[in-house]
Each structure stands twice: as structure tokens, then as C-alpha cells.
Amino acid sequence: MQPGPTPPDPPRFDLSLEPPAARNRLGWYLVILLSSFIVIVQLATYLQRPKREAFQTTGAEIALRLVAVQETLLAMADPAPNRQKAAPAMLRPTLEALRDDAGRHRDPAAARVYAVASRELGMPIPRERLQPLLASGNPDDRLFAAFYLGETRLPAEELARRLGRDGIVGRYAAAHAREQALGRRLPPAERGVVSQQQAAVWMLVVFAGGAVFLLSLALWGVYLVARSKGALRPLGPPLHAGSAALSDHLALRAGLMFVVFLGSDALFSFLPGEGLGPGAFARGALLVAAAVLIAALPLQGRSLGLRRIGVDARRLGPNLLWGLGAAVANIPVLVFAVLFGQFLFPNLPAPEHPITNEIAKGGWAVAAAVLFLGAVVAPIVEEIWFRGLLLPAMVRSMGGVFGGVFFSSLLFAMVHPTGVPAWPALAAIGAMAALLTFQTRSLVPSIVMHAVHNGTLLALNLLLFAG
């Protein structure tokens, strides 16, 4: 018996009395236009960096400080007296690169670095390389050149005192003056370039860094084993944009954050030193207040609130531990991302945050402003902005978690003024913060992780420029 034809499906009717919410793409237009403006301006500034600066004095000073720290650490690890008249072989590549870079410029700062690096390498110093110092109207510049050309008869201690007034470069020159009088290279502890206290602190930093790196690998092992056994399952995002209209609404709030950011940047742009003075605290408070209000106040007839995007005190203890653990576990990921960025963009200028120059020139007031903005304000504002508002909007608009995490993290990296080679590392921070929100259904762990990361980097920078 042949089966009869399959009856058609019964007709379906939408009995809902409420039409779908109308879309409003204004937020997306704001996000696209303002983020594009920020990225274009910062890229233009970044790509012009080598042309704008005749010589990157801050970068050279950082390199010389790191060389001094490394030599001190090497001497502490091997206390046997060093009979060499030049820097250890391990440090020569850095000094050679620094000498070559300084030799391409014709200004007093470059000439000073060239002379110091050449003496550290035990290499001759041609007179023409020091011509910018000899032609300078500054008597300290002329004295610096006369010393390295062997044309001064001042006593060694007087010469060291006068040469040593010019930061890290001057301390190297003062050490060279004392060594020339003695006819031998002094041990790092006696050179006066890096103090014993700084060396001890850096030794602790090195050991702590190694221990933390091993701990990060152990944390990854524990997490992966627990996941394989069905434990530590992600709880899901704090906020799920279940409709295109809600995605548009979250994009609007994120777009308003772009408006506030650019507005505060323009408002405080008249302040000297990147605004790293008393105004920094006012700007930080303004940004935090704006982020909280934009997330909490009713908009377009919709209420949101901090608790809905994951900022609350529920499960505070575990969330703090998740944030601290993620900050540690992210270290090998960041190391790989930094190397990957250098591999992808080997010919672009080295990444450098503008705030580094201000740290190098500033004192305790700058240090306090930097730590407040970097370790308090930025984690709160950026996590509300990018993970609390923009991430769920992009997860909905990009068709899934992977697209939302990828594009929101990439945008997070691109709006930072550090430079293109740093984008992979910054995107890795953003991706880890996004995954944390899905793991814990809270924004608190990502804020903690962000604060620990920024605070650690800033503390190391301040330590590098201490003294």
C-alpha cells in the first residue's frame, strides 16, 4: 500500500500584539566615527614620531638605566672582580644599538649618549661626533666634550661632580671620570650609576618575576584540568543583548563614553605635561562619574544600572581572586603577544606610551597622578566602557561571542596611544578581561585584573626612573 502525501504544516500566526522594537543606529555611528577619529589621530602622531623627534632622549635614558641595572645584577650573581675595561659581553648589543642610533643624529643630547655608549664599549670617539657639544653655548656641554676628548685638566672629583648633574647620562660620565683617574673600571656598586638600594630592589623584582611566571603556568594547568573535569564552568555574561534594539541601545551608551572621553581630553589639553598634575585627579573623577552615570541613568526609556552590567558586591571575595589570578595567568599570554607584535611590525617605531616621557621628567606629584589615572581610573572607566557596554553590543551585532570578543578587544587596543606593535598585547588584555566577564558573570574581576596589570607596569616604570 502506497503511503499518502504528507499533509502540509498547519499555518502559523504571530499573535503578539507588540511589534518588534524599532532600531536606532545612532550609537553605532558614534562608536564608528569617534573611534575612527581617535585611531587616525593617534596613528598619525605615532607614525610621525621618528620625524618629529631629532633624538629619542627618553628611550636612550631607559636603555642606559636598564644596562646599568643588568650590569649590577650580573655583578651580584657573580661577585668575582671584573678586570675588563668595557661593559660585559651580554650588554654590548644594547650599547652598540644605542651608539649607532645616537650617531645618526647631530644634536647635543645624541652626542652625549654617543660618548657614553662608546666609552662603555671601549671604542674611540671621533671629534666630529662631539661637534654639537663643542659648538653649544652651554658650558656643561663643552666640558662634557672636553672630557671625552681628553682636553680637560680638572681634578677627577670636581670633574665627576660637574658631569654628574645630567641624570643617568651624567652619572655614567661621572663614573668614567673617576675610572679614568684610577686607570681601571670600577665595580658596579662603586660606579654610582645605580644605587645599592635600587640594585637590591631590582634583584627582588627579577626573582619575583620568575616566581610569578611559574605561578601563571601553574594556574593555567589547574584551570584546564578543572575544566576538563566539568568544574569552573563559565557562568555567562552579566548582560545579554537579546535583541538588535538592545544592542543598539548599548552601543549608544558606549558612543556617549567616546564623546565624554574626547571632551575631557579637549577640556584638559591646556594643562602642561599631559595633564599629570592636580588636574589629573579632577579629570579622573570626571571620567569615573561619567562612566557610572552613562551606565546607570535611564536613556531612551530604558534603565540599565551598574548591577545589570556586572558591577556589584555579590561574590566579591571570589571575584577578587579571579581578577588577581587572571592578572598572573595572563603574563605568558602577554609575553607571546609582545613578541608577536614585534614580529609583525619590525620596521615600525617602537611602542611607547606618551606618559613614559612624563614619568621620566616628573617627581612624586607626577607619580601619584600616573598611578591614580592608570591603576584606578582607567580600569573602572575602560571596563564599564568596553566590557560592560560595548562587548555585549558587539556579541549581538557580530553574530557570536568570538566576533564580539575579537572586535571589542581590537578596538580597545587601537584607541590606546602606545603604537601599532603594542596592539596584540593590548588586545590580549582586552580579550582576557572579556573572557573573565563570561566566566564569572561580573565586571569586578576584569577591573581588578586591569588595575593589577596597569599598576604593576607603572610601578616598574617609576622604579626604573627612581633617583
pLDDT at 21: 65
**308: three-class secondary structure by DSSP:** coil
Cα dihedral angle (370, 374, 378, 380), rounded to 10 degrees? -110
pLDDT at 446: 97
pLDDT at 392: 95
Distance between CA atoms of residues 374 and 32, nearest Å:
25
Q: SS in 3 state form for 29-54? A: HHHHHHHHHHHHHHHHHHHCHHHHCC
Among candidate residues 380, 392, 389, the one with its CA nearest the CA of residue 289? 380
Tally of CB atoms within 10 A around 222: 13
User: In degrees rounded to 5, what are phi and psi of residue 302?
Assistant: -115, 140
- Every domain of the chain and the residues it spans: 57-193, 234-465
Q: Which three cell numbers stand for residue 352?
A: 611607547
**238-241 long-range Cβ contacts below 8 angstroms, 24+ apart:** 238/308, 238/309, 238/310, 238/388, 238/437, 238/441, 238/442, 238/443, 239/308, 239/309, 239/310, 239/388, 239/392, 240/392, 241/392, 241/393, 241/395, 241/396
Among candidate residues 162, 173, 193, the one with its CA nearest the CA of residue 112? 173
pLDDT at 16: 44
pTM of the model: 0.83
Rg (CA), the chain: 28
Among candidate residues 62, 113, 123, 115, the one with its CA nearest the CA of residue 92? 123
DSSP-derived secondary structure for 392-446: HHHHHHTTSHHHHHHHHHHHHHHTSTT-GGGHHHHHHHHHHHHHHHHHHS-SHHH
pLDDT at 375: 93
pLDDT at 81: 59
Beta bridge mates, 299:
302
The parts of the chain modelled with pLDDT lower than 50 are 1, 12-18
pLDDT at 14: 45
Q: Are 436 and 326 in contact (CB under 8 A)?
A: yes
Q: Which three cell numbers stand for residue 450?
A: 586591569
Q: Where are the alpha helices (DSSP H) in 229-276?
A: 244-267
Among candidate residues 430, 218, 411, 222, the one with its CA nearest the CA of residue 334? 430
Distance between CA atoms of residues 277 and 271, nearest Å:
8
CA 358 from chain centre, in angstroms, equals 14
